[in-house]
Amino acid sequence: MTTKKLNPGSYMNPYLSGVLLGLVLLTAFYVSGRGLGASGAIKSTIVTAVDAVSPSHVENADFYAEYMESHPKPMKSWLVFEMLGVLVGGFISGALSGRLKLKIEHSPKITSRRRLIFALAGGILFGFGSQLGRGCTSGSALSGMAVLSLGGIITMAGIFGTGYALAYFVRKNWI
């Protein structure tokens, strides 16, 4: 052991977590015939919110109209329920491990403000990209790999490849 990690004992062995996550994913396939996902839940929420504020906009704009056509009840979607579960599950695990704490996590070399600005920018980019890519890491990459989907692997390569390519330029934020 050459690195001193924060709370080394309280995080689960990564390989064990991986196997458990794989089993959760397998359960999703077996029970519901689909893999996991995340960004779609936010999309549903946005469509619902826009519909509540301005139904005519929803009818006129292609994006919303196409979505409402195939999902007349956007909030009653598998992903929305799944993400609610994620919130609960994460909370329980955090509570059991004593990691519940309201804080802004950042490298000691940068300020909180900088971290939040980058978090916002990252979120905007990721949100936009997830719609283009028809999925995020959970949906496209992870679930895609499990079913040997070529599209999933391509998106995954895009995500990680770009991450590595840009890592040097934002290294101050992390290391």
Partner 1 sequence: MKSRLILAGFLIPLALIIAAVPSNTTRAYRLTADQLLQEAVSYEPYVHPDNVADMLIQKDPSLILIDVRTPDEYDKFSLPGAINIPLADLLSDEYLDILDQDENTNVFYSNGTLKSNEAWMITRQLGYENNYVLQGGLNYWAEVIMNPVPPAQTSPDEEIAKYNFRKGASMALGGGAETNTAASAVPAKPVIKKKKEKKRVAGGC
Partner 2 sequence: MGPLAAYDIISPDTNLLMAFLIGIGFGFVLESAGFSSSRKLAGVFYGYDTVVLKVFFTAGITAMLGLLFFSLFGWIDLSLIYINPTFLTSAITGGVIMGAGFILGGFCPGTSFCAASIGKIDAMVFIGGLIIGIFVFAEGYPLWEDLYKAKFMGIPKISEALGLKDGLMALILVLVALAMFWVGEWAEKKFPREEY
**Binding of residue 163 to partner 2 (CB under 8 A):** yes
Helix 62-70 to helix 39-53 angle (10° resolution) is 110
Candidates 13-21, 50-58, 105-113, 159-167: pick the segment binding partner 1 (CB under 8 A).
Answer: 13-21
CB of 111 to partner 1, least distance (A): 34
CB of 68 to partner 2, least distance (A): 12
Which of the listed partners (partner 1, partner 2, none) does 71 bind, with a CB threshold of 5 to 8 Å by partner kind?
partner 1
Residue 37, burial from CB neighbour count under 10 angstroms (0-12, 13-18, 19+)? buried
The alpha carbon of residue 48 and the mean position of all alpha carbons in its chain are separated, in whole angstroms, by 20
Which of the listed partners (partner 1, partner 2, none) does 26 bind, with a CB threshold of 5 to 8 Å by partner kind?
partner 2
**Binding of residue 126 to partner 1 (CB under 8 A):** no
Residue with tokens 């990691």: 99
Which of the listed partners (partner 2, partner 1, none) does 30 bind, with a CB threshold of 5 to 8 Å by partner kind?
partner 2
Q: Is 61 helix (H, G, I), strand (E, B) or coil?
A: coil
Judged by CB under 8 A, the chain residues 59 through 88 that form the site for partner 2 are 61-64, 76, 78-79, 81-88
Judged by CB under 8 A, the chain residues 63 through 122 that form the site for partner 1 are 67, 70-71, 74, 77-79
**Euclidean distance between CA atoms 76 and 72, whole angstroms:** 9
* Contact yes or no for 156/137 (Cβ under 8 A): yes
Residue among 17 and 59 whose Cβ is closer to partner 2: 17
CB of 156 to partner 1, least distance (A): 13
**Binding of residue 110 to partner 2 (CB under 8 A):** no
Distant-in-sequence, close-in-space partners of 155: CB < 8 Å, separation ≥ 6: 133, 134, 135, 140, 141, 144
